[in-house]
Chain A
Amino acid sequence: DAGITQSPRHKVTETGTPVTLRCHQTENHRYMYWYRQDPGHGLRLIHYSYGVKDTDKGEVSDGYSVSRSKTEDFLLTLESATSSQTSVYFCAISEATRGLSGELFFGEGSRLTVL
């Protein structure tokens, strides 16, 4: 299994509070991604990173920010959580050889509930 660790795995928070999810990899892969998974929507890309300090927006980036200060860590921040951000969040990584369309390795997910 690819070395990807997401934390926390489960979190319950209240509307308006800030939340940070962490993704840590030990594979030294160039690309890192945050997806959210919701019933009826499949997986949707939030943000992705193509290197340290290099990030870009995905399909559903509103209300989220990311940071990547080290190759191994990719943080997803909800500045002020809303109930619509209740979801399961998946981090994924991929190697540089195939670019952004290469094979993805996924973490186990972080289940976030915003009350």
Chain B
Amino acid sequence: SQQGEEDPQALSIQEGENATMNCSYKTSINNLQWYRQNSGRGLVHLILIRSNEREKHSGRLRVTLDTSKKSSSLLITASRAADTASYFCATDGGGNTPLVFGKGTRLSVIA
């Protein structure tokens, strides 16, 4: 399986701090995506970065992609209590194949 792996498994920070989560994957990709899941809810798409992109921003989110290292990072700046959730990276296999998800990082933002 070309499953991505997030690191760390769990992260606890104070409100206002930045949160960084990492994802490593095994095969070539067309794109890498990040999703958020609030407790008891479905996943919500956050951002997609293509294999020919190195960095992408969306509001307080910053995603980087290093295809040579097969890794990506998600940075959430100035975190809020509402950012408390699990965050997942998802990758395709470089062809027309469904996304494969990592096991996620549980982020707790303490007010």
Contacts and interface: CB of A to CB of B under 8 A. Distances in A.
Contact of A41 (B30, B99, B103): B103
Interface string A45-61: 10010000000001100
Chain B contact residues: helix, strand, loop or mixed = loop
Given A90-B42, A90-B43, A101-B31, A42 B97 contact: no
Contact of B48 (A44, A58, A103): A103
B58 interface: no
A104 B43 contact: yes
B1 interface: yes
Interface of B: 1, 3, 30-31, 33, 35, 40-45, 48, 88, 90, 92, 96-104
Interface of A: 4, 33, 35, 40-45, 48, 58-59, 90, 92, 99-101, 103-109
The 9 closest A-B pairs by CB, nearest first: A101-B92, A106-B42, A42-B103, A43-B101, A99-B96, A106-B43, A100-B98, A103-B45, A108-B42
